[in-house]
């Protein structure tokens, strides 16, 4: 029998689930996904399940399918087959999303119902503060609380300097070394019973090694990085939800080769709070921080109070957001046409015969 509270259940979820429970359905949390077959932690134990045809038909995009961390409504089947079916997805309190690969405007949910997002970056040859800004932008938008983990601290000559650099991005920063265990014990404040933590970062930063340390066993397979460029080799191949001995839940994710933004306007403001604060003093409220007169942001760059690379990164994200907005508008138009097509089809079907 699933202890729902131990897996992150809440009064809000109970309220949303109550009508389904009255009809005899069970609740489950998505632990992993494999080619549209989901592993669920349910009221009756672990089950394999597929979405119903109705849910698949009504889905407008990938975001309308279950994601790891989702709570779902389940019709339970036998324990040793795939006859269980997912009837509905319960409301998400948070979601870490990115734009799916390709030109199509589609949202891909990396992890759902997360309390804390650990953004892991190695202090080795793969160090990239611009990539970290992108992760933070998406994390601030997700609804979860972001924390930056600078891993492989034992490989950096001056890790404290990196900490000071990243602290300007507006999120808590912690130094850890999965190899030596340094700093790992200090993360316990976030790994509390019933709380869900997701680890995100590129390959080779040590996410799986950190989780193995918290599990107290080598459950997740790990591999070293390439010596030529410190880039990681993919070990985790799919997202999975695990219960730790502490009672906390953790979502391990594959390294992301591509991290395209998705609807992160508020996230940009939060992760570039220093630029937003400076912009309040610009002469024009719609200042683009290019060559406008009286631009406080440009002045700060000239005075070396703001890094030119950080402003360039902000400009790049702004351009991406405009592009995503255009794609989302096109998608909205397509969905509106689809909705009216369904309505007209239903009207023709039920039109009284003369």
Distance CA 201, CA 218 (A): 20
pLDDT score recorded for residue 73? 97
Rounded to 5°, the CA angle 343-263-327 comes to 60
pLDDT mean by block of 10 residues, the chain; 354 residues:
85 96 95 90 91 90 92 88 90 86 71 94 83 86 91 88 89 87 87 93 82 76 48 57 92 68 62 84 87 90 88 82 66 63 63 58
Intrachain domains 4-89 and 272-326 with the same fold: no
Are the beta carbons of 126 and 231 closer than 8 angstroms?
yes
pLDDT score recorded for residue 233? 45
Distance CA 195, CA 247 (A): 8
pLDDT score recorded for residue 232? 43
CATH code of the region 4-89: 2.40.50.140
Length of the chain: 354
- The CATH architecture to which 272-326 belongs is Orthogonal Bundle (1.10)
179-187's contacts with Cβ under 8 Å and 24+ in sequence apart are 179/152, 179/154, 179/206, 179/209, 180/154, 181/213, 182/153, 182/154, 183/153, 184/210, 184/213, 184/214, 187/118, 187/149, 187/214
pLDDT score recorded for residue 235? 47
For the chain, the structural domain boundaries read: 4-89, 95-252, 272-326
The fourth-level CATH superfamily of domain 95-252 is P-loop containing nucleotide triphosphate hydrolases (3.40.50.300)
Residue 192 CB contacts under 8 Å (≥ 6 apart), including other chains: 246, 247, 248
pLDDT score recorded for residue 91? 96
Strand partners, 147: 118
pTM of the predicted model, to two decimals?
Answer: 0.76
pLDDT score recorded for residue 338? 65
Number of H helices, E strands in the chain: 9, 13
Strand partners, 108: 98
Distance CA 329, CA 342 (A): 20
Strand partners, 96: 111
């Amino acid at each position: 029998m699933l202890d729902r509270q131990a897996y992150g259940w809440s009064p809000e979820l109970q309220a949303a689930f109550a009508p389904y429970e009255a009809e005899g359905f069970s609740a489950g949390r998505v632990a992993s996904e494999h080619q549209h077959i989901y592993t669920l932690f349910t009221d009756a134990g672990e089950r394999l399940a597929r979405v119903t045809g109705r849910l698949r038909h009504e889905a407008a995009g990938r975001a309308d399918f279950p994601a790891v961390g989702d709570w779902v409504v389940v019709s339970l089947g036998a324990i040793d087959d795939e006859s269980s079916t997912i009837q509905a997805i319960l409301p998400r309190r948070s979601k870490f999303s990115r734009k799916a690969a390709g030109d199509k405007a589609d949202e891909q949910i990396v992890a759902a119902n997360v309390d804390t997002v650990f953004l892991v970056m190695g202090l080795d040859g793969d160090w990239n503060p611009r990539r970290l800004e992108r992760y933070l932008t998406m994390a601030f938008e997700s609804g979860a609380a972001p924390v930056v983990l600078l891993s492989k601290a034992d490989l950096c000559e001056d890790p404290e300097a990196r900490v000071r650099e990243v602290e300007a991005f507006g999120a808590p920063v912690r130094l850890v070394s999965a190899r030596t265990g340094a700093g790992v014990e200090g993360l316990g404040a976030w790994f509390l019973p019933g709380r869900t933590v997701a680890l995100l970062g590129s390959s080779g930063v040590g996410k799986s090694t950190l989780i193995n340390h918290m599990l107290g066993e080598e459950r997740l397979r790990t591999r070293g990085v390439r010596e030529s460029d410190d880039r990681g080799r993919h070990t985790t191949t799919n997202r999975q939800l695990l219960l730790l001995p502490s009672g906390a839940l953790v979502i391990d994710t594959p390294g992301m080769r591509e991290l395209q933004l998705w609807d992160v306007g508020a996230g940009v403001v939060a992760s570039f709070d220093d630029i937003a604060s400076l912009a309040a003093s610009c002469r024009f409220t719609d200042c683009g921080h290019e060559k406008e007169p009286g631009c406080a942001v440009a002045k700060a760059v000239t005075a070396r109070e703001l890094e030119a690379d950080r402003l360039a990164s902000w400009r790049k994200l702004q351009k991406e957001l405009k592009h995503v907005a255009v794609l989302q508008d096109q998608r909205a138009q397509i969905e509106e046409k689809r909705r009216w097509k369904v309505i007209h089809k239903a009207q023709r079907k039920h039109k009284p015969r003369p």
